[in-house]
Amino acid sequence: MELGRILKGSRVAEIDRKCIASGIDSRWLMANAGTRVADFVLRQGSRVKGIVVCGSGNNGGDGFVAAKKLLDCGMDVHVFYISPPERFTSDSKYYFERLKESYPQKLSYLDTGNIDSRNILSSKLLESDFVIDAILGTGLHGKEVHGASREAIQLINLARETVAREKNRNLIIYSVDIPSGIDSDDGMVLGVSIKADFTITFGCKKFGLVNFPGAYYAGKVEVVDIGIPRHYYTEYEQIFEPDLEWVASKIPYRMPWTYKHRVGKLLVIAGSIGFTGAATMTCLAAMRAGAGIVTLVCSRGLNSIFEEKLTEVMTYPVGDVEDVFIHAKNIDEIAKHSESFDALAVGPGLSRNPDTLRFVKQLLRRITKPVVLDADGLCVLPDLREDIESSRLNLSNVIITPHAGELARILERDSIKLEERLDANLEAVEKYRLISVLKGARTLISGPDGTTFVNPTGDWALATAGTGDILTGIIGSLLCQGMSPLDASVCGAFIHGFASDVMTKETSKTALIATDLLEGIKKVFLEIEKMKYE
């Protein structure tokens, strides 16, 4: 099953050069691109009056092609170009001339320094149903948008707000390949950007379309084929986007005669005084995600609390009656007990008690079974760097699930910006030689071979305490059921986000709390089982 592929936008120029060198006609590719944009607009139905705003590059050429196709189909479309034709790329100029031959009255040069020219565009925008943004494409990186491009983007954005406010309707914006002003490599806004309703992108998604804030400006993204052979996309970074069908295919198939020990046994090591909720949610999420048996290792002083909170989950108390933390002195007992389990989930609510952290370090040195490490457990990683680099310690069995702040501490940085998330996650994977699930808007899952998955489910509803503990439980559950660490991480993040998407239809995004996800997990697995068993 083929996954949705994602590339950094800077690869597009390289792919174009390779295609042309192999004999593929660049004008044929541009014709295909513009035609696919027009086809998408035509499928939207009732919108018949529009504006196409074109830059001087190949993105503008795609716009000229789209405009001619729409005009040929009887739509009322006017085209504004923001640079003199002598500045157009060769292919763009070719299609500009074809458009000019057929519809000269539908073309206007937008001189942003001329108030009359600006007013003409503004007036036509207010009368239109839609705009096609073909100003800037995937070649824009790093430098802020300036000059005529900036002026055109601001006029379109202002018109959209005015139409909504004064005419009580939507001015629909379609962006060609990527919204103008977004860096296609990392999703950053380069000073100003179009806010699109739809982005029609070519061949595959660009990372700038799925990483925030670019994802916010892209609207709904439609990937269209323009004739570039698929093998050109496989030569670069391996970034993918899973879907429900792929996730369902990865979830282990259960034979009718299976039983709880065969399904999978998960050992959870979590919780401390004041943080029993974290351990509880991890355990309950693991049960909901299909683990046959879940056992919680907890300090003896908190055992009575967990006995009250957990019904289906067994507890394994350690230490003295007064203990409210797990101590390094418990390592031999816990390590021995773990031998009968298929996987471990370690860290939620465990605390940063120095002796507890010593326990975690010793545990990682001794356990070879799959482990998902979260929250307080992540604090020990910098202390293990030297042993990892010298190959005295192998963490290939470990999955970490940091948020951006935790990843920054692991990498000993002050912070990690949105545009740095991908590179930072890959850096952590390389340094610690494990799998890293970087939580946040569009969770990133990176493996030791450099493969990264961008999770498409979930949104800001998950920005509430405890949702990370639920994720740890889901991934741990999938691990103990026999899934590979990478598959368990990708599928766990997808299920976690999908559970939120399902539940926010009932709770609202604002009102969602972490334990609502337990009900959501049930509904997600109903969908998975329909695909897998019916």
What is the CATH number for 371?
3.40.1190.20
CA–CA separation, 187 and 356 (whole Å): 40
Which pLDDT belongs to residue 113?
A: 86
**Percent of residues, the chain, with pLDDT higher than 90:** 94
| pLDDT class of 401 with cuts at 50, 70, 90 | very high
Helix (H, G, I), strand (E, B) or coil at 178: coil
pTM as predicted: 0.95
pLDDT (tens digit, 9 = 90+) per residue, 259-279?
Answer: 999 999 999 999 999 999 999
Q: Which of 65, 63, 64, 73 is nearest to 42 (CA)?
A: 73
Do 408 and 388 contact (CB within 8 A), yes or no?
Answer: no
**Residues 255 and 180 grouped into a single domain:** no
Which pLDDT belongs to residue 235?
A: 87
* Mean pLDDT value of segment 133-152: 95
Burial class (CB in 10 A: 0-12, 13-18, 19+), 114: exposed
**Residues 220 and 270 grouped into a single domain:** no
List strands edge to edge, sheet with 371-373: 205-206, 4-7, 239-241, 452-454, 444-446, 435-438, 398-400, 371-373, 343-346, 265-269, 293-299, 314-318
3-state helix, strand, coil in the chain (%, to 5): 50, 15, 35
List the CATH number of the domain containing 68: 3.40.50.10260
- Beta partners for 53? 80, 133
Type of residue numbered 100: K
In the predicted structure, residue 488 carries a pLDDT above the cut 80: yes
| pLDDT class of 516 with cuts at 50, 70, 90 | very high
**Residues 446 and 518 grouped into a single domain:** yes
* Residue 2 forms part of a structural domain: no
pLDDT (tens digit, 9 = 90+) per residue, 432-473?
Answer: 999 999 999 999 999 999 999 999 999 999 999 999 999 999
Which pLDDT belongs to residue 46?
A: 67
* Residue 103 forms part of a structural domain: yes
- Min mean pLDDT across 57-71, 224-238, 283-297, 443-457 is at 224-238
CA–CA separation, 77 and 51 (whole Å): 6
| pLDDT class of 338 with cuts at 50, 70, 90 | very high
Helix (H, G, I), strand (E, B) or coil at 239: strand
CA–CA separation, 203 and 137 (whole Å): 14
> Is the N-terminal amide bond of 213 cis, ω within 30° of 0?
yes
pLDDT (tens digit, 9 = 90+) per residue, 175-220?
Answer: 999 999 999 999 999 999 999 999 999 999 999 999 999 999 999 9
Domain boundary among 202, 217, 236: 236
Which pLDDT belongs to residue 534?
A: 84
Q: Which of 470, 26, 416 is nearest to 282 (CA)?
A: 470
| 44 token code pair | 């939207």
CA–CA separation, 497 and 499 (whole Å): 5
CA–CA separation, 53 and 196 (whole Å): 13
pLDDT (tens digit, 9 = 90+) per residue, 380-392?
Answer: 999 999 999 999 9
Which pLDDT belongs to residue 260?
A: 95
DSSP 32-52: HHHHHHHHHHHHT-S--EEEE
**Residues 334 and 411 grouped into a single domain:** yes
Q: What is the DSSP code (8-state) at residue 23?
A: T
SS (H, E, C) 310-367: CCCCEEEEECCCCCCCCCHHHHHHHHHHHCCCCEEEECCCCCCCHHHHHHHHHHHHHC
* Residue 332 forms part of a structural domain: yes
* Mean pLDDT value of segment 53-63: 97
Which pLDDT belongs to residue 48?
A: 85
**Residues 211 and 343 grouped into a single domain:** no
If you search the block for the tokens 């292919």, which residue do you land on? 91
Question: What Cα–Cα distance (Å) separates residue 180 from each residue in 184, 218, 224, 323?
Answer: 10, 10, 18, 59
- Beta partners for 4? 241
Burial 146-164 (b: 16+ CB within 10 A, else e): eebbbbbbebbbebbeebe
**Residues 353 and 392 grouped into a single domain:** yes
Domain limits for position 151: 7-236
Domain boundary among 204, 219, 236: 236
* Residue 296 forms part of a structural domain: yes
The per-residue pLDDT of the chain, averaged, comes to 96
pLDDT (tens digit, 9 = 90+) per residue, 84-98?
Answer: 999 999 999 999 999
* Residue 34 forms part of a structural domain: yes
Measured CA angle at 147 (ends 144, 152), to 5 deg: 95
Question: What Cα–Cα distance (Å) separates residue 119 from each residue in 155, 194, 219, 377?
Answer: 10, 19, 27, 60
Which pLDDT belongs to residue 209?
A: 98
CA–CA separation, 401 and 380 (whole Å): 14
Domain boundary among 236, 270, 298: 236
In the predicted structure, residue 479 carries a pLDDT above the cut 80: yes
Q: H-helix or E-strand containing 474?
A: helix 467-480
**Residues 226 and 286 grouped into a single domain:** no
* Mean pLDDT value of segment 23-38: 97
In the predicted structure, residue 1 carries a pLDDT above the cut 80: no
* C-alpha of 41 from chain center: 26
DSSP 119-170: HHHHHHHHH-SEEEEES--TT--SSPP-HHHHHHHHHHHHHHHHHHHHSSS-
* Residue 423 forms part of a structural domain: yes
pLDDT (tens digit, 9 = 90+) per residue, 281-318?
Answer: 999 999 999 999 999 999 999 999 999 999 999 999 99
**Residues 267 and 201 grouped into a single domain:** no
Q: How many domains does the chain have?
A: 2
* Residue 365 forms part of a structural domain: yes
**Residues 459 and 315 grouped into a single domain:** yes
- Helix residue ranges per DSSP H, 199-341: 207-210, 214-218, 244-250, 260-263, 276-288, 303-309, 331-338
- Beta partners for 453? 240, 445
* Residue 1 forms part of a structural domain: no
Which pLDDT belongs to residue 90?
A: 96
**Residues 286 and 194 grouped into a single domain:** no
Do 344 and 476 contact (CB within 8 A), yes or no?
Answer: yes
Do 157 and 175 contact (CB within 8 A), yes or no?
Answer: no
| 350 token code pair | 């465990």
Burial 496-528 (b: 16+ CB within 10 A, else e): bbbbbbbbbeebebeebebbbbbebbeebbeeb
In the predicted structure, residue 424 carries a pLDDT above the cut 80: yes
Residue 358, number of CB atoms within 10 A of its CB: 16
Which pLDDT belongs to residue 147?
A: 93
Q: H-helix or E-strand containing 520?
A: helix 516-533
**Residues 256 and 156 grouped into a single domain:** no
Which pLDDT belongs to residue 2?
A: 75
Which pLDDT belongs to residue 169?
A: 86
**Residues 440 and 472 grouped into a single domain:** yes
Do 282 and 469 contact (CB within 8 A), yes or no?
Answer: yes
**E strand residue ranges, 413-514:** 435-438, 444-446, 452-454
